[in-house]
Structure 1
Amino acid sequence: MASDTGGVKPMPIAGRMVRERERLVGMTNEERAWRKQWLQDQILSPNEPRRVPELERELMNPIRRAYRKPLDVIFNALKPTIGERRAQIARYVTGKVFISLFVIYATTYYFKYNANDWTRKGGWRVLVSRKRVVPGDPEYPKLSDRQVPADYASRGFKNSPI
């Protein structure tokens, strides 16, 4: 696994002057000049950050490029109309919405059509708690919906049309 620092222990380049309390204690003229230069170095030029398509193509595997392609095409066409920053935000949000919808639909489908009943071994078994009955309810002394021992663990067998 490659590290971000290439195996070299990271160190902060801001030094002790990054904390306001340290600056208030007192700075030498050399430290003031160094701090001034450091603050100027933090200002990015107007053309940064630079986007290098060849680097992005190299870093993204073919599968990722394939599933990103449809939204990239749509939002690259929208860039002149809505602006680059808004197109990036809209593309990000749209991708997350599609992924969330896919997960919700897949989960719903799985639970709807892969129930754990008497016809199969697999699937998620969904157990529902029985209704709470407290003193004062019309059904108060009701202990259970199950009357005979065969009602327990039937997994829908008693209700099957066979």
Structure 2
Amino acid sequence: MKKQKTKVRTVDKYEKYAEIGEMYSSKWKKVNLFIPSNFRMLCAILGVMPKDILCDFMRMVCYAPSDRATEEQRKAAKKFFLTCRFGQPTYSEKDINTMFKELKAMRATYNSTENMDWDDKELFWKNNHMYIEYWFKRWFEKNRRQDDISILEKY
């Protein structure tokens, strides 16, 4: 009797993390907001678009990889965020500071990938995408939030 050759199929159980899930990715959003006249005038005098200020602030406060801000600017953005008490009382200031520290740590890992070979980078990004989902779910559900996680699509 002739032996049948067994085919070995490699299965990547983490294949779904090769690209970040649509729900967890950065998105362009159209925002219709009221811009106070004094802010508009200040922007016109200084030659800076309100959109640029808001985009820079968002990148600074979340330690986005595309952010080119200094650490001093990031600290100021974080201080503004905390002083305005965004997210409080749902999350304590300590919790929010922990979130900022974790975002900063994620950014530090982004900055360490340029010399990786292709396979290591692929593994890094899969791990990173898994962690981002985990990070969001962990903080979202920390205070037994009743909303469905799909609410992220609204933001």
Q: TM-score normalised to the size of structure 2?
A: 0.25
Relative to its length, the structure with more helix (as a share) is: 2
Higher Rg of the two aligned structures: 1
Q: TM-score normalised to the size of structure 1?
A: 0.24
